[in-house]
Amino acid sequence: MFYTVKSTMSSLASQLGIGEPTLQLIIDGLTQPFGFRDIREESSKPLYRRGLEHIEDLHHCHSIQGRVTNVTDFGVFVDVGVGQDGLIHMSEMQGRWEELKYLLGPNDVIKVRFKNMDVKKSRLSFRLVDAQVTKPKLI
């Protein structure tokens, strides 16, 4: 029986043009029991601010809320609603990098201050103002 299921999974994955692990994730997601916790529910509505829609709208005095999109070895990427994620380099984390790199994770809401924009490379940089996180993320 295992061989039949395996060959059917392999065949279906091939027909769909996806890998078997991806197909298994899809099947697992679709077969969850009613009431299963959907991780998408953790993402609340966007934090966009009126008058802040484009990169050009950012000013050095802006202290705004953003949503963490990724945590890397060198800092945190944040979406502030201007169509381009910005980086908070580990040196701009108020000396809390060693603590926050394990506490921050995708969808966490933090307060940042706009620092710099590299127009040629289309890069934004921010400085951390406040991060209210208490539980470590699984890594």
pLDDT at 63: 81
Structure token digits, residue 61: 């005095």
CA dist 71 and 134 (Å) reads 16
> How is domain 55-131 classified at the architecture level of CATH?
Beta Barrel (2.40)
Which of 20-24, 55-59, 70-74, 111-115 is the least confident region? Answer: 55-59
The 10s digit of each residue's pLDDT in 48-95 is 666 666 666 676 666 888 899 999 999 999 988 788 898 999 999 999
Average pLDDT over residues 103-125: 86
pLDDT at 136: 59
**CA 65 → CA 48, 105, 120, 126, distances in Å?**
8, 15, 25, 11
For the chain, the structural domain boundaries read: 2-36, 55-131
pLDDT at 29: 79
Structure token digits, residue 48: 């966009």
